[in-house]
Amino acid sequence: MQKRKLGKSGLEVSALGLGCMGLSYGYGPATEQQEAIKLVRAAFDRGVTFFDTAEAYGPYKNEELLGEALGSVRDKVVIATKFGFDFGADGGQSGMNSRPEHIRAVAEASLKRLKTDVIDLFYQHRVDANVPIEDVAGTVKDLIGEGKVKHFGLSEAGAKTIRRAHAVQPVAALQSEYSLWWREPEEEILPTLEELGIGFVPFSPLGKGFLTGAISESTAFDSKDFRNVVPRFAPDARKANQGLVDRLTEIANTKGATPAQIALAWLLAQKPWIVPIPGTTKLHRLDENMAAAGVALTADELGAIENALSEITVQGDRYPAHLQARVDR
């Protein structure tokens, strides 16, 4: 696995990371603990050194899983986790919270769950409109000074917020959705990151599974799968968006690759400081995804992808309204 540096931060990670959320949360029942540990360790064995989690995934269970799975190789991996939410008695999110005292409390709790003495990359999970971003950045700056955190990150933050935060504490990475079926970051975010020397970590690089070709209009999701409430995954939208996957599959076939590998290789080809974090619960999908790091797309092939997909307008919002409201502009 090749390595990449996240912007000017000096933080070096594998070219592809592992998004671990789905092992504990979001896509149906959690993976059995030992099976999840086996998959995380298999990723490490295949060269992955960048693992993404958050207190919200479970909540808490995913951090505990990584603490268990990566303890024996802790000095060889980079673990990113996140703060920014309150949770109710039922474990559900009860609102955003990035107050300085809360950030500190989350850091201490995450360190214990991850069984480590330092968090490599600490993201604000979503921008909190009630707390000035300067206060958030300043708190993480203090945690870095205390040796509890190494790098500061933001997630789904807009360009103005990124600039304000970066002026207080350099932002190592932004984590936001970016893929062949969600390209909004190209408008303002990517130029801002390039200017400031900030790395980019695309989540959902495979369109929450849609770009793999394994999902059709008739696919039934588990009752706990959050895609049930995502407009882009309504049956009509899936049917309308199938053309994108069909074109991607045609391109993949000519390259001797899979649609997922082309989608990941396309992201890797955009900028040398982009590190996608595809997630999976299946070993064969892990192998498929990791092999994408070895798929090199030529300028002609990238042009062909651009031309083929420019004819397609993706249907459906990527979030339901209540979640879209949390995305910073």
Phi, psi of 189 (to 5 degrees): -70, -50
CA 290 to CA 209: how far, in whole Å? 15
Q: At what angle do helices 259-270 and 299-310 cross, to 10 degrees?
A: 110
Tokens 């409430």 sit at which residue? 229
CA–CA separation, 182 vs 156, rounded Å? 13
Closest among 242, 248, 243 to 264, alpha carbons compared:
248
Element (H, E) at 96: strand 93-96
Catalytic residue flag (residue 27):
no
The H-assigned helical ranges of 116-226 are 133-145, 159-168, 189-196
User: What are the helix (H) ranges across the chain?
Assistant: 33-45, 61-70, 100-113, 133-145, 159-168, 189-196, 235-255, 259-270, 283-291, 299-310, 321-324
25, 27, 57, 123: the active-site residue: 57
Give me Rg for the CA atoms of the chain.
19
Spatial separation of the C-alpha atoms in residues 286 and 38, rounded to whole Å: 12
Supply the residues annotated as catalytic. Answer: 57
